[in-house]
Amino acid sequence: MAVIDDNPSMRRSVERLLNANGFITEGYASAEAFLGNAQTGGVRCLVLDIHLGGMSGIELWHHLKQAGISLPVIFITAVDDEVLEQEAVKAGCIAYLQKPFPAESLVAAINRAL
């Protein structure tokens, strides 16, 4: 499980929540850090912030798809943007969660993805 969020406290909170629910996580501060360091073969799901510095979460997802890497994605965001939500859902994300979201919503989405 990869958690990609440029907000360090949010990233740590999500990682702790997932670890407490039995998921092994790796955290990344940016899409570029994920691409440079992740062993994508071991990643089973992405929890991905849409608004990252540099490459956005949506751009990362499209990049992975073009590279032939198909991973279930759960988008998280602090921005209420209906057009972006529709784009993410249309592209096939498992869930689109607006921060702050209930812990159960994220855990349920991951269980659906896996």
DSSP per position, 72-89: -EEEEESS--HHHHHHHH
Residue 96 has pLDDT above 90, yes or no: yes
> Structural domains in the chain?
2-113 (3.40.50.2300)
pLDDT digits (tens, 9 = 90+) for 35-79: 998 777 789 999 999 999 999 999 999 999 999 988 999 999 998
* Top-confidence residue, 77 or 91: 77
Tokens found for residue 30: 């940016």
What is the pairing mode between strands 2-4 and 26-28? parallel
Per-residue pLDDT tens for 73-86? 999 999 888 988 98
Confidence of residue 3 (pLDDT cuts 50, 70, 90): very high
Regarding pTM above 0.85, the answer is yes
